[in-house]
Structure 1
Amino acid sequence: MEKNAKIYVAGHRGMVGSAICRKLKENGYHNLITRTSSELDLRNQQAVFDFMAEEKPDYIFLAAAKVGGIQANNTYRADFLYENLMIESNIIHAAYLNKVTKLMFLGSSCIYPKMATQPLKEEYLLTGPLEHTNEPYAIAKIAGIKLCEAYRDQYGCNFISVMPTNLYGYNDNYDLNNSHVLPALIRKFHEAKVNSFSEVIVWGTGSPMREFLFADDLAEACLYLMENYNERELVNIGTGEDISIKDLALLVKEVIGFEGGLVFDSTKPDGTPRKLMDVSKLHNTGFKHKVELREGIALAYEDFKKKHVSENVSEAQKV
């Protein structure tokens, strides 16, 4: 990409989009286009077409999506399917119409079959049934991948897809009702520590295995692939290492300094038994993550405390 290229980051206020914006600016890309959801409803086709025709971006990072954890995915199944289909369809088609030089679509590791052989290779896509709890979200992401492939096949568009593993980091969502497991654990242990609780309840049995990537490492990988990768096939982005939810909870407990006990609520769903990405394709290009899990949790916790304290101060000022 040229340093003065016009780059649209869709979803710039989210954890992933904000990390991509930071990484672009660090690397000398300052001609960035962003819109908040109140300024541009990405579910509105005409609004997206008008925006794209006016701005004419050269490159697009499609990081905008409706996201959430197991509970949110399973509760708002129609919303997750409809809204994500609309967002990606509108942007990808508008990118084609306006001759965007290159587009990167960010998917999710949940696109792979629930019982797929581990680690998950890119070619395992569509080889078996999906995990039920997040099937609508996964189907929407699969549709995005196939849209990129179809526009490349029919029109020659340089649209690529990347599949991040589970992410965490700065600007994460810590709402206990719809956040992912790691930020939810950070909040639970923090509140337990502050309130001197004797124990923390963790959803599920603790046995599922998960892989976690710091969002700034994802952003660096995305920029690297945007600059160097131009193939049809999707690319997994992760660490190639996983950890059980139980051991993750113990690690978060240690980083935060909570001294109470752990209780696993086996009445709550575990989700997919294991999700580990095969990242050999990414590693073979020369890229590897930098932030290890313990360090990343500590960085995320500091970010959480800054926002958590400011939220509490703000609420206190309203009283």
Structure 2
Amino acid sequence: MNPMPKIYVAGHRGMVGSAIVRRLLAGGVAQDAILTRTHAELDLTDQAAVRAFFRSERPDQVYLAAARVGGIHANNTYPADFIYDNLMIEANVIDAAFRQGVRRLLLLGSSCIYPKLAPQPMKESALLTGTLEPTNEPYAIAKIAGIKLCESYNRQYGASHGVDYRSVMPTNLYGPGDNYHPENSHVIPGLLRRFHEAREQGAPQVVIWGSGTPRREFLYVDDMAAASVHVMNLDAEDYRKHTEPMLSHINVGYGDDLTILELAQLVARTVGYGGRIELDPGKPDGTPRKLMDSARLRSLGWQPRVDLAEGLRLAYADFLKAHRT
């Protein structure tokens, strides 16, 4: 590493990427040491363009937070886009990083990599032990491929080239910079928008998808950014002590979960909506439960700081800001 490393944050306009930039700046990294490119400036699915960028800029560290993401509806509607775009982004960035001598790279994945019926809480070792949740299988397979890319480059080039590529698997994330699209958003931003609009319109009820019984874990995005920077900068020997041989990924979760109905009730209180909450059991539930086992990361010195109630207040404030503009 150079005394003043150049750090490339791929996906810096997204919720996670922007939080990583905030965390780096708060930690003393100079603004001009952080490399960013918009999609218009650099299409990460274009191999030639990605290789040219790495040859020109020669970053020392890479945070790969760029991805095509969305909720159940988006995953069901655009499966080809989800698998193709994410496979291409990962393959292009990871290989270009290696070709230009980048020794430390962090891939951001997703808890959907684990089997639909994985034992709870889900350990890193549950990967590839069962069938994936069908609604987001294309996206999950792309993220699993990214993990295996990191592991494979470590196996083949770790000893000879000092390659140390890692992956973090976050639970469901939310917070500033989220996507509040009425159809293509994740559960928390989608609920925030729907309850806000219901309150504004005086609607007597809000209908939520599914039975309301699936349990989900949620992590505030700035906690995820702190975990990402923490994992990126861990000493290699310390990191290996807490991971299985050649296992590049590590879980990042809050450590507690709640049902979708309980979440909806909490969002309604946060927004100030006083109407009824109705369930639509004809819509898909997805995985029955997704709780991460984050014991490894906690043993490495990271802890979440923002609880769900406070995080929802911050997220709603961000929604109101985005809603006004």
Residue 225 of structure 1 aligns with which residue?
A: 231
Q: Which amino acid aligns with 1:142?
A: I
Residue 298 of structure 2 aligns with which residue?
A: 283
Contact 2:2-2:60 within 8 A present in 1 as well: no
Q: Matched residue of 2:184: which SS?
A: coil
Q: Does 1:77 align with 2:79?
A: yes
**What is the rounded CA distance, in whole Å, between the counterparts of 1:275 and 1:151 in structure 2?**
29
Contact 1:3-1:29 within 8 A present in 2 as well: no
Q: Which of 177, 189, 210 is equivalent to 1:204?
A: 210
Shift of 1:309: 1.2
Residue 19 of structure 2 aligns with which residue?
A: 19
Q: Which amino acid aligns with 1:187?
A: R
Per-residue deviation, residues 37-83 of structure 1 (Å, max 9, x unmatched)? 00000000000000011000000000000000001101111110000
Per-residue deviation, residues 202-235 of structure 1 (Å, max 9, x unmatched)? 1111000000000000000111111115344211
Q: Matched residue of 1:228: which SS?
A: coil
Over 3 Å counting, the alpha-carbon distance change for 1:209 and 1:35 in structure 2 is: same
Contact 1:5-1:29 within 8 A present in 2 as well: no
**What is the rounded CA distance, in whole Å, between the counterparts of 2:308 and 2:164 in structure 1?**
33
Q: Which of 231, 242, 257 is equivalent to 1:242?
A: 257
Residue 149 of structure 1 aligns with which residue?
A: 151
**What is the rounded CA distance, in whole Å, between the counterparts of 2:93 and 2:79 in structure 1?**
22
Shift of 1:135: 0.1
Per-residue deviation, residues 242-262 of structure 1 (Å, max 9, x unmatched)? 110000000000111101000
Q: Matched residue of 1:219: which SS?
A: helix
**What is the rounded CA distance, in whole Å, between the counterparts of 1:221 and 1:207 in structure 2?**
29
Shift of 1:305: 0.2
May I ask how many residue pairs the two structures share in their alignment?
A: 310
Q: Matched residue of 2:233: which SS?
A: helix
Q: 1:130-279 maps to which residues of 2 (within 5 A)?
A: 130-156=132-158, 157-228=163-234, 230=236, 231=240, 232-233=246-247, 234-279=249-294
Q: Which amino acid aligns with 2:19?
A: A
User: Could you state the TM-score of these two structures normalised by the residue count of structure 1?
Assistant: 0.96
**What is the rounded CA distance, in whole Å, between the counterparts of 1:74 and 1:254 in structure 2?**
30
Kindly, what percent of the aligned residue pairs are identical? 56
Per-residue deviation, residues 127-167 of structure 1 (Å, max 9, x unmatched)? 00000000000000000000000000001111001100000
**What is the rounded CA distance, in whole Å, between the counterparts of 1:206 and 1:229 in structure 2?**
42
Shift of 1:2: 6.6
**What is the rounded CA distance, in whole Å, between the counterparts of 1:227 and 1:300 in structure 2?**
28
Residue 34 of structure 1 aligns with which residue?
A: 36
Q: 1:282-301 maps to which residues of 2 (within 5 A)?
A: 282-301=297-316
**What is the rounded CA distance, in whole Å, between the counterparts of 2:99 and 2:284 in structure 1?**
43
Shift of 1:177: 1.0
Q: Matched residue of 2:138: which SS?
A: helix
Over 3 Å counting, the alpha-carbon distance change for 1:307 and 1:98 in structure 2 is: same
**What is the rounded CA distance, in whole Å, between the counterparts of 1:165 and 1:28 in structure 2?**
27
Over 3 Å counting, the alpha-carbon distance change for 1:203 and 1:285 in structure 2 is: same
Q: Does 1:51 align with 2:66?
A: no
Shift of 1:240: 1.2
Per-residue deviation, residues 260-315 of structure 1 (Å, max 9, x unmatched)? 000111111100000000011011112110000000000000010011012xxxxx
Residue 63 of structure 1 aligns with which residue?
A: 65
**What is the rounded CA distance, in whole Å, between the counterparts of 2:316 and 2:11 in structure 1?**
23
Q: Which runs of 5+ in 2 are unaligned?
A: 241-245
Q: Which runs of 5+ in 1 are unaligned?
A: 311-319
Q: Matched residue of 1:191: which SS?
A: helix
RMSD: 1.0
Q: 1:99-110 maps to which residues of 2 (within 5 A)?
A: 99-110=101-112
